[in-house]
């Protein structure tokens, strides 16, 4: 029997609210969200936030932490995935922590997101020009060079960094360091 035939209207409302599939062939509505959290600038506060994710079984794709203009406040940018129910739950659980000052889901807003990446790539005389070309396309910066390898610095949205790494991979990447995403809401233009 088709499962939807036995769902009551109220059950359908609940499933829609949670982002759960209703038709058997429907996928769960899982999406990626960037959440920004202002926390007290202490290790304890940082651990409490991370611990909440692990204790409650939420997922963290990337995390970036740093001090804000106010030295007593840190900004944590957390990228996570889940359906609407899970994302709402994450936001509520974060707000509930005593050390969190503000919590916002940037994915509900117009925001700018950047990641910094350092990539070490081996080169040979014959591949050197091509590697430099790729770097130029991505506006990469050479921050270190030896007789066998370049170290590039690259800033941008995460998909640009993914693309850069993919382009460099055939040439032999020896090391990658990514910062995790930092993000900020765009201000609205005054009318």
Partner 1 sequence: MPMVYDAHTKVTLADTLATEVPTHGLEVEELLRPVSGAEIFLRALDAEGVKIVFGHPGGAVIKIYDEMARIKPGFQHILVRHEQGGTHAAEGYAKATGRVGTVLVTSGPGATNTVTGIADAYMDSVPIVVFTGQVPTHLIGNDAFQECDAVGVTRSITKHSYLVRDVRDLANTIREAYHIARTGRPGPVLVDLPKDVLLAETTFRYPTEVKMRGYSVPADGRTDKIARASTMIAQSRRPIIYAGGGAIGGDASALLTRIARRGGIPVTTTLHGLGAFPENDPLSLGMLGMHGTWWANQAIQHADLIIAVGARFDDRVTGKLDSWAPHAQVIHIEIDQSCISKNVFADCAILGHVRPVLQKLESMIAPLDTSGWLKEIAGWRQQCPLAYESDSKLRAQYVIEQLRDKTQGDAVVVTDVGQHQMWTAQYFKFLHPRTHITSGGLGTMGFGMPAAMGAAFGLRELGSDRPVVCISGDGGFVMNAQEMSVAAAHKLPLKLAVINNRFLGMVRQWQELFHQERYSHTDLSDTNPDFVKLAEANHCVGLRAETREEARAIIDQAWKVTDRPALMEFNVAKEEMVFPMVPAGAATGEMITERLTPDSFV
Q: Does 177 bind partner 1 (CB under 8 A)?
A: no
- Which residues does 124 contact at the CB level (< 8 Å), separation at least 6? none
Nearest to 180 by CA among 106, 116, 90: 116
Q: Does 100 bind partner 1 (CB under 8 A)?
A: yes
Window of 57-65, 100-108, 145-153, 173-181 that interacts with partner 1 by CB under 8 A: 100-108
Q: How far apart are CA 129 and CA 123, in angstroms?
A: 9
* Residue 118 vs residues 132, 143, 176: alpha-carbon distances, Å: 15, 9, 6
Among 89, 109, 127, 155, binds partner 1 (CB under 8 A): 89
Among 2, 10, 136, 159, binds partner 1 (CB under 8 A): 10
Q: Does 186 bind partner 1 (CB under 8 A)?
A: no
**The total number of residues written for the chain in this structure:** 191
Among 4, 59, 68, 95, binds partner 1 (CB under 8 A): 95
To 10 degrees, the CA torsion angle through 83, 97, 104, 86?
0
List residues binding partner 1 (CB under 8 A): 7-8, 10-11, 13-14, 16-18, 39-40, 44, 47-48, 51-52, 55, 84-85, 88-89, 91-104, 108
């Amino acid at each position: 029997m088709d499962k939807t035939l036995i769902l009551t209207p109220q059950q359908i409302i609940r499933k829609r609210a949670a982002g759960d599939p209703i038709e058997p062939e429907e996928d769960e509505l899982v999406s990626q969200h960037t959440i920004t959290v202002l926390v007290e600038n202490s290790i304890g506060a940082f651990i409490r936030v991370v611990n909440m994710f692990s204790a409650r079984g939420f997922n963290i794709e990337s995390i970036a932490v740093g001090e804000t203009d106010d030295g007593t406040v840190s900004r944590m940018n957390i990228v996570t995935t889940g359906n609407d129910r899970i994302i709402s739950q994450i936001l509520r659980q974060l707000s509930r922590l005593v050390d969190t000052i503000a919590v916002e889901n940037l994915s509900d807003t117009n925001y700018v997101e950047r990641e910094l990446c350092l990539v070490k790539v081996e080169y040979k005389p014959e591949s050197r020009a091509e590697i430099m070309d790729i770097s130029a396309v991505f506006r990469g910066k050479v921050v270190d060079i030896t007789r066998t390898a370049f170290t590039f610095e690259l800033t941008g949205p995460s998909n640009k960094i993914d693309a850069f790494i993919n382009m460099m991979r055939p040439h032999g990447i020896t090391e990658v360091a990514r910062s995790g995403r930092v993000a900020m809401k765009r201000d609205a233009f005054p009318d």
